[in-house]
Structure 1
């Protein structure tokens, strides 16, 4: 009697002027110990030879499917488009960035973790990363989430680094029933929705080498101080504040009737807390949102009181 076939993982990768990095990344994806995979790539308007490189890879390995995406959508728009195109035969969908290098067992660990969830429960796997420079020299580790995944965290912070994230079929079907209005960050949105309506599994063992260079769409600081100051700078940025509130509003619009009473109240309190200084002060002391580390939470609440962010 033959064993059940390994479940198909569709890896979705948005490429944009990534010719300098893609060879190493594609090789690490195709070299996974969980070899039952399809790599679907959308080129988001490259002009540096990326399309030629992708065509050459697809010629060598039938597991690669790629297409020119036409107009530039940016990372999140491109990834939402890729998720819409995930095949019905895929049991899992995994995000991939163009400039990282995966550990050989990354997908196997994600599949094992998500397969432990009850049937039909939306699940998202994400993991820690090793931060490296352009030459893949180790510079540090991403911080461990001290409080773990939750909607209270997902409303104001994203711990599900996109390039580590893998969705099960239930999560994929839930998410692509209707996408949020832009702007929204694809990985943060997935973390928010699945933390509210499913289960997020965080793996403390690093899953990949997370390359930092001048062209990163989103970067990570090398040291805890770098990361803390980066969070403060982003919080002082009105665009970041608007994004948090927009995503929370879209969560309520699209899934409000499916949230628990407690989570509906959490989202409503967050969205209604910015009307004036007394409301912000009350929310700083009593509001349910929290970051993963106490100092980050303290900084968030202090700046929220002063600036409404």
Structure 2
């Protein structure tokens, strides 16, 4: 697909949807790294979610001096990061031909993020995401790799990277917006990155996961999700597994995929949905056999398969 072009510069036009909540201490660095993107004509639409740390005032002041920043009014219907992004998707004005990206409030983007990802979209992909480089205030860094080979149904169990690494075509964005407006299941999904990936892949669209880390992914005590690495993250995943949260999440994503899927893809999705919602050891065995098609990383396939088989997942 041809990238959207700027009227004067010939550069692609990109709108970045920025969700904020009590992040004023990081916003300068985050917004500066967005507006300094190479090879793209960028604007930012921000929506705050009830901040009490001066974030709304910072946004208003920056918007007064920066024409590329627009701030939407908080109507009090947020309450979570996903809901704030869904409000942005629903209400932000998207100009014809604009590519769409998402931003957290506390990261730092590589200057070639957009130029690299636009080139990948032009190869026929509807969406692009990437690995990220987690970093801590003590100077520690760690690559969070996301580009393991994609599987047929990986979009039901995992995202292709943090939403802050996403870039989408106008057509995919329109599909995401319409799905959120017409599917109650979509609005219940707790992570916008998982939802968008499920919509794209469920529809049969191509998605590329870039191994090059396009974002320096800040780690701190207020992260909604964080890099999902290390012992504490493993314990949190185990808790979610034991409470069957991940299974319920996968069930929602399967229903969303069915909502957008072409007719020829629906029978197998319905079969998977039956495995996710059914009981008994035969059902668990069938679902466990599917794990090589549900997770990208071989280690994760083995672990999930075992947890399903013994009835924990």
Deviation at 1:308, TM superposition (A): 5.8
User: Alignment length, in residue pairs?
Assistant: 297
Q: Which position in structure 2 is the counterpart of 1:14?
A: 19
Deviation at 1:174, TM superposition (A): 1.6
How far apart, CA to CA, are the structure 2 residues paired with 1:157 and 1:115? 25
Q: Are 2:80 and 1:78 aligned?
A: no
How far apart, CA to CA, are the structure 1 residues paired with 2:128 and 2:27? 23
Unaligned runs of at least 5 residues, structure 1: none
How far apart, CA to CA, are the structure 2 residues paired with 1:247 and 1:199? 17
Q: Are 2:134 and 1:131 aligned?
A: yes
Deviation at 1:226, TM superposition (A): 6.0
Deviation at 1:306, TM superposition (A): 2.4
Q: SS in structure 1 opposite 2:43?
A: strand
Q: Which position in structure 2 is the counterpart of 1:103?
A: 110
* Residue 146 of structure 1, aligned match among 142, 145, 148: 148
* Residue 295 of structure 2, aligned match among 279, 282, 291: 291
CA shift in 2, pair 1:90/1:73, >3 Å: farther
CA shift in 2, pair 1:43/1:90, >3 Å: farther
Alignment of 1:227-246 (within 5 A): 230-246=236-252
Deviation at 1:132, TM superposition (A): 0.4
Q: CA RMSD in A?
A: 2.2
Q: SS in structure 2 opposite 1:28?
A: helix
Q: Which runs of 4+ in 1 moved over 6 A?
A: none
* Residue 192 of structure 2, aligned match among 186, 189, 207: 186
Q: Which position in structure 1 is the counterpart of 2:121?
A: 114
Q: Which position in structure 2 is the counterpart of 1:302?
A: 306
How far apart, CA to CA, are the structure 2 residues paired with 1:221 and 1:241? 18
Q: Which moved more, 1:293-302 or 1:280-289?
A: 280-289
How far apart, CA to CA, are the structure 2 residues paired with 1:169 and 1:43? 24
Q: Which moved more, 1:226-235 or 1:153-162?
A: 226-235
CA shift in 2, pair 1:34/1:45, >3 Å: farther
* Residue 95 of structure 2, aligned match among 88, 100, 117: 88
Deviation at 1:15, TM superposition (A): 0.4
* Residue 49 of structure 1, aligned match among 46, 50, 54: 54
Per-residue deviation, residues 212-271 of structure 1 (Å, max 9, x unmatched): 111011111445x6665554443223223212111211221x224x15x3x423322221
Contact 1:127 / 1:203 at 8 angstroms: preserved in 2? yes
How far apart, CA to CA, are the structure 2 residues paired with 1:235 and 1:5? 48
Contact 2:242 / 2:312 at 8 angstroms: preserved in 1? no
How far apart, CA to CA, are the structure 2 residues paired with 1:151 and 1:11? 29
Contact 2:241 / 2:312 at 8 angstroms: preserved in 1? no
CA shift in 2, pair 1:227/1:99, >3 Å: same
Q: Which position in structure 2 is the counterpart of 1:272?
A: 274
Deviation at 1:56, TM superposition (A): 1.5
Q: Which position in structure 2 is the counterpart of 1:162?
A: 163
